[in-house]
Amino acid sequence: MTIAFIGDIVGRPGRNIIKQNLNNIKEKYNIDFVIANAENASHGFGLTIKNASELFNCGIDLITGGNHSWDKKKDMVTLLETKPVLRPDNYPPSIIGSGIKIVEVNDTKLAIINLMGIYSMPQVLNPFTHVVDLVEKLQNDGVKHIFIDFHAESTAEKRVMMQLLKGKVSAICGTHTHIGTDDLEVTNGTFYVTDTGLTGCRDNVIGMDSKIPIQKALTGLGGHFDVPNRCDSIMQIMIIELDNDGQATNGMKIKLYNNHKEVVSNALVN
């Protein structure tokens, strides 16, 4: 089974570059299932029903979220109830929606788990104790293919998740910082990257127009962040190969630029 993961999609530039390239990439690399984090896909904040359909029509199979999942709350409630859209599973159980879904891919069960970190994030349940219970339950149910989107600010939290779960899950991809890291590895059958990096504008500040972040840095006064109308964009996608036992055997990252330049890096396989 080959799965792919796209990190934080930011606004229209992110949606457009996916529209232009995802089908080709899926074909070229025989990708069976595509997961994407889209909590910033609608003008940088949240996800509308319209934009979610646009992303599903581009070939994305399942959408994950994070701290911005609720920015377009009414639409998100509908999406969580009716579409393959997750929010972090470690929100309190009283919160609508779920952060785990089991799908069938090539007659094999694949579980997708969405979790959120604690540092600099909304108050949520401990993601580490939470995921240990989730993974144990999945394994008892015979689910061996397990993918995790860990939406967290701190790089150390993400490394802890890796060390905690290596050998027990198929893949852990970090999201949230919007800045991709190049530490992709496969260890004990678990693919890992600290942060996947954004898909959207690459020439401003984490996909947002630089003007307000610069003003904030110089004066301490904030303002509303906007996605630029025009920019150079990037698509960042992880491609992960899993064997029949759910072990990652290989992984790579493709960075695709709007000038069609492509940079590919391979995971260190330990």
Residues of this chain that interact with Fe ion (CB under 5 A) are 66-67, 176
**Contact, 139 vs 111, CB < 8 A?**
no
The first and second tokens of residue 26, run together, are 């899926």
Which DSSP helix (H) or strand (E) runs through 21?
A: helix 11-28
Q: How far is the CB of 185 from Fe ion (least distance, A)?
A: 23
| Least gap, CB of 10 to Fe ion (angstroms) | 10
Instruction: With H, G, I as helix, E, B as strand and everything else as coil, classify residue 133.
Output: helix
Among residues 67 and 204, whose Cβ is nearest to Fe ion?
Answer: 67
Q: How far is the CB of 133 from Fe ion (least distance, A)?
A: 24
The sign of the torsion formed by the CA atoms of 71, 224, 37, 138 equals negative
Smallest separation, CB 72 to Fe ion (Å): 14
| Long-range contacts from 172-175, C-beta under 8 angstroms, 24+ separation | 172/148, 173/5, 173/7, 173/147, 173/148, 173/149, 173/238, 174/150, 175/7, 175/8, 175/37, 175/64, 175/66, 175/149, 175/150, 175/151
Q: State yes or no: is 68 an active-site residue.
A: yes
Q: Which residue, 66 or 228, is less far from Fe ion as judged by CB?
A: 66
Which is the catalytic residue, given 43, 68, 130, 176? 68
Kindly tell me which of 114 and 247 has the beta carbon lying closer to Fe ion. 114
- Residue with smaller CB distance to Fe ion, 150 or 241: 150
Residues forming the active site: 68
